[in-house]
Amino acid sequence: MGFGYNEFDTGFGMGFQLFDVMFFLIFFLILGMFLFMIVKGLSTWNKNNHSPRLTVDATVVAKRTDVTHHHGNDMATHSTWYYATFQVESGDRMEFAVDGMEYGMLAEGDIGKLSFQGTRYLSFERERLSD
């Protein structure tokens, strides 16, 4: 038959074309987001590396955690991120991600020397209280 009829065409040809287009759109959207996150991370890393290392007087004003849960088929995992907020003499506050051990050693109200580089936390050295 010369009218463009294909004996294997079941009427779903348009549906499969739409699926193909949607599949590639979603694939490239996810790929684009992944690449954006990599570029953003590298940009932050580079900016921190080019920032001066500063040590300032600061007070620990807050601590918080961020726990995420991931549930799989037969498995559940969680991740915990630790953050500490410091207030410097000017009244400005800065929040830094810290590791779990450092988080445990910090207490709200601690006064000392905060060392950081850009958005990267380096250390906090508590002032010794005189007896």
Buried-exposed string 91-114: b where 16+ CB fall within 10 A, e elsewhere: eeebebebeeeebeebeeebebeb
Q: What is the pTM of this model?
A: 0.70
pLDDT at 4: 54
CA-CA distance, 114 to 64, in Å (whole number)? 18
Would you write out the chain's pLDDT as a tens digit for each of its 131 residues? 455 555 555 555 555 688 888 889 999 999 999 999 999 999 989 998 999 999 999 999 999 999 998 888 888 899 999 999 999 999 999 999 999 999 999 999 999 999 999 999 999 999 976 55
Q: Which residues contact 28 (CB under 8 A, 6 or more apart)?
A: none
pLDDT at 73: 81
Q: Which helix (H) or strand (E) holds 109?
A: none
pLDDT at 3: 54
Sheet with 53-71: strands ordered across: 93-98, 76-88, 53-71, 111-117, 120-126
